[in-house]
Amino acid sequence: MIDAINDALDIMLDRDPNVVVMGEDVGYFGGVFRCTAGLQEKHGKTRVFDTPISECGIIGVAVGMGAYGLRPVPEIQFADYIYPGLDQLISEAARLRYRSAAEYIAPMTVRSPFGGGIFGGQTHSQSPEAIFSHVSGLKTVIPSNPYDAKGLLIASIEDNDPVIFFEPKRIYNGPFNGYYDKPVEPWKKHAQSIVPEGHYRVELGKARKVTEGDELTVLAYGTMVHVAEAVCAAKGVNAEILDLRTIVPLDIEAIEASVKKTGRCLIVHEATRTSGFGAELSALVTERCFYHLEAAVERVTGFDTPYPHSLEWAYFPGPVRIGEAIDKILSE
């Protein structure tokens, strides 16, 4: 997935002279996760450069660059550190088109590694997507595999709205199915790791059907797509798993069609439960599919605590928690 992201950035730097990539350690060093490796050398220091350690500064100058006419792709090293930039994202980037009646826009893509499962503790594991889905004017994208990561990132950079692009760092090097005690496979054995050369887009706002099924609909994104898939396979449940890919805008049509078919819906995310994005999904499914539901909509999420270090696998919404929820839904 790292290579796919690097490839997407490389292609966009080549195609559009207004694309600039910036962030802490992204330049000469190539990023702490290697996502920008080699880009500065190839495209030059004024297109790919290091920044001071200042998230409000990184996002703030990106808004100004967007107003000039550039298409900045700032990186926030960990999603846990995006908060100093929130005022610039929420009050400025998200509102600029609206408040200026489209005189000024913020065509920027904020990339940031997110999610847990890596013993990252409290400040290298968070999933703050619900904060952004609550802000009108921001799009939020979360890929789950290399093919989507490249196509979605290219689509995000080309989009004229500000996009928060969260990269689940647990699956940077290979899919993770939640069975933390088993060896992890690298991406090359995975079908979605085949990444075409050159430019292609994965449209924002479109979910991907991971598996076709009729017993149960599972709504997930990021790392949890792989976990849900593994649990359903292990339990022999004929589930229809939707990888949402973007949570704003949301593919409501795909969700409605699937839940109306299966009559059951399970929502899975790593983020904490209360006011998490699962609450929005649950409400939407209940509102729009009420007469088709045969069981209450269930949410499997992280607990409402800060992300712990040593108790990571007790916290992570893995196979046991998902399995229990599936049993409950199917028993109703």
Partner 1 sequence: MADRPDQAQQGQNKPTLQLHVPEPSYRPGDAVDFGHLTIPEAGAQPRPDEGCEASETNPLATDLIRVLGDDNLPHGPWDPKLDADTLREMLHHMAMVRAFDERMFRGQRQGKTSFYMKCTGEEATSISAAMALASDDMVFPSYRQQGILIARGYPLTEMINQIYSNSADKLKGRQLPIMYSSREKSFFSISGNLATQTPQAVGWAMASAIKGDSRIAATWVGEGSTAEGDFHAACTFAAVYNAPVILNVVNNQWAISSFSGFAGGERTSFAARAVGYGIAGLRVDGNDPLAVYAAERWAANRARSNAGPTLIEHFTYRAEGHSTSDDPSGYRSAQEREEWPLGDPVMRLKDHLIALGEWDEDRQKSLDEDCATEVKKATKEAEKNGILGHGLHHPFRTMFEDVFEELPWHLKEQSAQAIRERETKFPEGLSE
Please report, as ranges, the residues that interact with partner 1 according to CB under 8 A: 20, 46-47, 51-52, 54, 56-57, 60-70, 72, 84, 87-88, 91-92, 95-105, 136-137, 139, 159-161, 205, 248-250, 252-253
Question: What is the SS3 assignment for the chain?
Answer: CHHHHHHHHHHHHHHCCCEEEEECCCCCCCCCCCCCCCHHHHHCCCCEEECCCCHHHHHHHHHHHHHHCCEEEEECCCHHHCHHHHHHHHHHHCCHHHHCCCCCCCCCEEEEEECCCCCCHHHCCCCCHHHHHCCCCCEEECCCCHHHHHHHHHHHHHCCCCEEEEEEHHHCCCCCCCCCCCCCCCHHHCHHHCCCCCCCCCCCCCCEEEECCCCEEEEECCHHHHHHHHHHHHHCCCEEEEECCEEECCCHHHHHHHHHHHCCEEEEEEEECCCCHHHHHHHHHHHHHHHHCCCCCEEEEECCCCCCCCCHHHHCCCHHHHHHHHHHHHHC
Spatial CA neighbour of 258 closest among 199, 322, 209: 209
- Token pair listed for 233: 């396979």
Nearer to partner 1, 52 or 183 (CB): 52
CB of 94 to partner 1, least distance (A): 9
Distance CA 218, CA 234 (A): 15
CB of 13 to partner 1, least distance (A): 13
Q: Report the SS3 class of residue 11.
A: helix
Q: Report the SS3 class of residue 266.
A: strand
Nearer to partner 1, 205 or 263 (CB): 205
Nearer to partner 1, 41 or 327 (CB): 41
User: What one-letter code names the amino acid at 305?
Assistant: T
CB of 93 to partner 1, least distance (A): 10
CB of 42 to partner 1, least distance (A): 16
Nearer to partner 1, 20 or 232 (CB): 20
Nearer to partner 1, 248 or 267 (CB): 248
Distance CA 18, CA 243 (A): 31
**Given 124, 269, 292, 309, which residue is catalytic?**
124
Nearer to partner 1, 74 or 116 (CB): 74
CB of 278 to partner 1, least distance (A): 17
- Annotation says 43 is catalytic: no
212 bridge partner residues: none
- Token pair listed for 130: 């619900």
Task: Give catalytic residue positions.
Answer: 124
